[in-house]
Amino acid sequence: MPADIIVQAVEAAARLNDAHWRRPFEHAATRFVRLLGTVPDCAAHEISDADVGALQKIAEGVIGRIEARIDAGADSAAIQRALAGKVYEIRRLLEEVYDWRRHFAARRLS
């Protein structure tokens, strides 16, 4: 999985961008969140700093797309809240990835 984690993230982001209907959009957002959540389960040597940077950039695009959908107001309030929750989850998981990366970087320096 680590070798293609960036490919999978790009694919999930592309599905999100291509989704015009609510369910495919929610599914793509959920897929991205799940994928991001798997990063700290990888061995430290499997994910490079460049990979983390790429994931950050992809995540920013995903967040922007979710926020644009919320701002469009086409979904019910409950769906908008759920989508906002995905934004917070992505941000939390990014923090977790950075903490994980810092932890292993510190161990390499010791």
Q: What is the pTM of this model?
A: 0.88
Question: Over the stretch 19-68, which tens digit does the pLDDT of each residue have?
Answer: 989 999 999 999 999 999 999 888 878 888 899 999 999 999 999 999 99
Instruction: Let me know: does 34 contact 26? Beta carbons within 8 Å.
Output: no
Residue at 9: amino acid letter: A
Rounded to the nearest 10 degrees, how much is the dihedral formed by the CA atoms of 54, 58, 61, 67?
-120
The answer to whether residue 81 scores a pLDDT higher than 90 is yes
